[in-house]
């Protein structure tokens, strides 16, 4: 897959510096307030999807997911991996650094522009960055060994397309890991998975401190999603 082109970020930005997965990281991030201010109902993305710039910050679910990936280096190394809704690119970079063959996808070109910058800042090369809408996957069926995502289900309407997307991309023995911070709406995705031939299990519960101080940690759960045995899909012919 070709690396999708994206514009250089133009909005003011700040940089995060932190330790995770046994090394130091630097992440350039957008000014979330500036993005909100710049949004307009006249923008096509807003009219069609009410597209909100959640990608512009590093959320606790991403930190929890990165730690999960770091504990599974052998399971990621040399496998075809996909970061779904990669945002600033952090977990895609972690997966590539761990030895995976990672594609980072996002719906927003600005997010991918920051992800590319963050790859350079952290000396992680080889990630393929691509614009993709999970409602219209450009990947062939069954080509992803390991997929992951952090905090991507904000509305119930996301459930069916995300489930269909995972069913489309996952290899027969593939797995997807989704980190989420206890939103009630996530149940809609879990309820949708069986109809698409997918099973789920609660893999890990990990209270996670955000990078910005707060009184209590965020209760992040990581869910593992796999194909149900004997469920015929497009990749089975």
Q: What CATH code is carried by the domain that includes residue 158?
A: 3.40.50.150
Total domains in the chain come to 1
For residue 150, is it within any domain?
yes
For residue 82, give its domain range. 58-236
Assess whether pLDDT exceeds 50 at residue 1. Answer: no
Q: What is the pLDDT of residues 187-237, one digit of tens each?
A: 999 999 999 999 999 999 999 999 988 999 999 999 999 999 876 655 555
* pLDDT tens sequence across 43-94: 555 445 556 667 888 999 999 999 999 999 999 999 999 999 999 999 999 9
Q: Does residue 147 lie within any of the structural domains?
A: yes
Spatial distance between the Cα atoms of 32 and 130, rounded to a whole number of angstroms: 22
Tokens found for residue 66? 């990165």
Q: What share of the chain is helix, strand, coil (3-state, %, to 5)?
A: 35, 30, 35
In this predicted structure, the answer to whether residue 10 has a pLDDT above a threshold of 50 is no
pLDDT, mean of residues 159-177: 98
| 134 within 8 A of 113, measured Cβ to Cβ | no
CA nearest to 77, candidates 97, 57, 52, 58: 97
Q: Is residue 2 part of a domain?
A: no
Q: Is the pLDDT of residue 155 over 80?
A: yes
What's this model's pTM, rounded to 2 decimal places? 0.86
Mean pLDDT of the chain: 88
List the one residue out of 188, 190, 197, 185 whose CA is nearest residue 226.
197
pLDDT of 216 reads 95
197 in a structural domain: yes
Q: Would you say residue 36 lies in a domain?
A: no
Is pLDDT at 11 greater than 90 in this prediction? no
| Confidence grade of residue 42 (pLDDT, cut at 50, 70, 90) | low
Residue 8's pLDDT band (cuts 50, 70, 90): very low
Does some domain include residue 109? yes
Any domain includes 34: no
On whether residue 22 sits in a domain, the answer given is: no
């Amino acid at each position: 897959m070709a690396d999708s082109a994206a514009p250089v970020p133009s909005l003011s930005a700040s940089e995060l510096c932190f330790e995770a997965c046994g090394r130091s990281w630097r992440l350039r991030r957008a000014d979330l307030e500036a993005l909100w201010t710049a949004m307009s109902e006249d923008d096509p993305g807003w009219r069609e999807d009410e597209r909100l710039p959640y990608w512009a910050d590093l959320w606790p679910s991403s930190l929890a997911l990165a730690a999960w990936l770091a504990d599974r280096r052998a399971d990621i190394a040399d496998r075809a991996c996909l970061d779904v809704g990669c945002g600033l690119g952090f977990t895609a970079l972690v997966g590539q650094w761990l030895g995976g063959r990672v594609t980072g996808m996002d719906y927003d070109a600005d997010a991918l522009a920051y992800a590319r910058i963050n790859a350079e800042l952290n000396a992680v090369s080889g990630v393929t960055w691509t614009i993709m809408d999970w409602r219209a996957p450009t990947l062939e069926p069954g080509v992803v060994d390991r997929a992951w995502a952090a905090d991507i289900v904000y509305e119930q309407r996301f459930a069916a397309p995300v489930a269909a997307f995972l069913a489309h991309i996952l290899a027969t023995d593939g797995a997807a890991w989704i980190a989420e911070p206890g939103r009630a709406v996530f149940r809609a995705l879990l309820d949708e998975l069986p109809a698409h031939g997918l099973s789920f299990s609660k893999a890990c519960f990990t209270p996670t401190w955000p990078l910005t101080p707060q009184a209590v940690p965020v209760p992040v759960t990581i869910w593992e999603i796999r194909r149900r045995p004997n469920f015929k899909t497009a990749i089975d012919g």
